[in-house]
Amino acid sequence: MTDIESIRSALPQLVEEAKRQLRDATDLESFVEAERALLGKRSPLAALNATLKDLAPADRGKAGEAINEARSQLAEFAGSLRREREAESNRRRVDAERLDLSEITAGPRRAPLGFSDNAVGHLHLVNQTRDELEDTFIAMGFDVVEGPEAETDWYNFEALNMPPDHPARGMWDTLYLRLGSPETVLLRTHTSPVQVRLMESAKLPIYAVMPGRCYRRDTPDARHLPVFHQIEGLVVDEGITFGDMAGVIEAFTESFFGEGMHSRLRPSFFPFTEPSGEFEVTCPICGGGGCRTCSGSGWIELGGCGMVDPNVFEATGIDPERYSGFAFGFGIDRLAQVRTSLADMRVLLDNDIRFLSQF
Ligand code: DAH
């Protein structure tokens, strides 16, 4: 038979024992478990509470108060200890994830924290994709050419058949640089200005691709990045036809994506090509059968293309009576996204090693 005195005398020892168990649980997980065992429904304090009904009615209130007080004392102790444990666990996690960017290591390269010792870094998915594209075009006989990322209005727009105030400029939301120079300087919105530079300076014929970084005043979302990459293609020679363009795009598609992958063209508009097209390739995810990535169509739109507009030849000093050519351009990040089924393109900019190391 329980009496109030035995409850009163049992309490201090019970609280001390509980505190000891809490102190002994040094990691957060075992602490949370101990806390539940010592303060929860199956705790010794709860068991003691359950004996109250056996007391003389006059003692029940007082004994209940004593148990409650012991309980809140223990809960307070547990609370402050839990905050310490949580802080420690946080500190440990941050330490484990820390990358020391100021660290210089001599000798063999070290694996990032959390990776096996022989793991070394590698090119970013976008750079791997660019390299593969370059290799594919080099194998087809193309040169690789680069141009500046800060461009003048002339190269980005005007020489591409877009005089000032031409409405087609609205197709590209542009970031302008205030450099105090008489020419308007901007961050190129596409790789097409490199075409212009090449036509101005190169010897003909031209068979070249031009990869590089581009900028647009866009809010990043699942399918757009304000900083992204394109690859441009340009062929200028005597007697080049629309059929040559379709053939080159098809050959590229097969060579890059693999056998059984095809391309198709649909009419479109770009100021620097006439006629212009959009080209699509067999969806690399479903192989043309139809899936979520291609909205069931079996095709993925890759980029724009067309026959170089005679005005662009004239702006760059090439005789349009003698030469003809075609151009194309598409997004490298988009291509990487489609090929690897990334739901959200923004992961390409996060630099999270858990993502990067998958490719
Ligand atoms: N520059 C275009 C864009 O960024 C893509 C493009 C379309 C490039 C047609 C071309 C072309 O060379 O012929 O939207």
For the segment 45-58, what is each residue's pLDDT rounded down to a tens digit? Answer: 998 888 888 888 88
| Number of domains making up the chain | 2
Alpha carbons 172 and 166: distance in angstroms, whole number: 12
Alpha carbons 303 and 283: distance in angstroms, whole number: 14
The tokens for 316 are 């760059």
Residue 119 lies in a domain: no
Q: Identify whether residues 179 and 250 lie together within a single domain.
A: yes
Alpha carbons 235 and 57: distance in angstroms, whole number: 100
Q: How many Cβ atoms are within 10 Å of 225's Cβ, its own excluded?
A: 22
Domain range spanning residue 19?
Answer: 4-97
Please tell me the distance between residue 328's alpha carbon and the centre of ligand 1 in angstroms. 6
DSSP labels for 299-332?
Answer: EEEEEEEEEEPHHHHHHTT--TTT-EEEEEEEEH
Share of the chain above pLDDT 90, in %: 71
Q: Identify whether residues 131 and 66 lie together within a single domain.
A: no
Amino acid 213: pLDDT: 98
For residue 233, the ligand 1 atom closest to its alpha carbon is 12
Alpha helices by DSSP H, listed for the chain, are 4-24, 28-39, 44-50, 57-97, 125-139, 153-156, 192-201, 242-257, 310-315, 332-340, 347-350, 353-356
With a cut of 50, say whether residue 1 has pLDDT above it: no
Amino acid 60: pLDDT: 87
Q: Identify whether residues 66 and 152 lie together within a single domain.
A: no
Per-residue model confidence as pLDDT tens digits over 75-125: 999 999 999 999 999 999 998 888 877 776 666 666 666 666 666 788 999
Amino acid 108: pLDDT: 62
Per-residue model confidence as pLDDT tens digits over 125-156: 999 999 999 999 999 999 999 999 999 999 99
**CATH number reported for the structural domain that contains residue 280 in this entry:** 3.30.930.10
Of 157, 270, 312, which is best to mutate to test ligand 1, by the most ligand atoms within 8 angstroms of its C-beta? 270
Q: Identify whether residues 320 and 204 lie together within a single domain.
A: yes
Q: Identify whether residues 225 and 77 lie together within a single domain.
A: no
Alpha carbons 221 and 225: distance in angstroms, whole number: 7
Q: Last residue of some domain: 82, 97, 112? A: 97
pLDDT category at 200 given cuts 50, 70, 90 is very high
With a cut of 60, say whether residue 353 has pLDDT above it: yes
One-letter identity of residue 358: Q
Q: How far is CA 203 from CA 58, 198, 258, 280, in A?
A: 108, 9, 33, 31
Q: Identify whether residues 157 and 25 lie together within a single domain.
A: no
Alpha carbons 272 and 112: distance in angstroms, whole number: 46
Any atom of ligand 1 within 6 Å of the Cβ of 192: yes
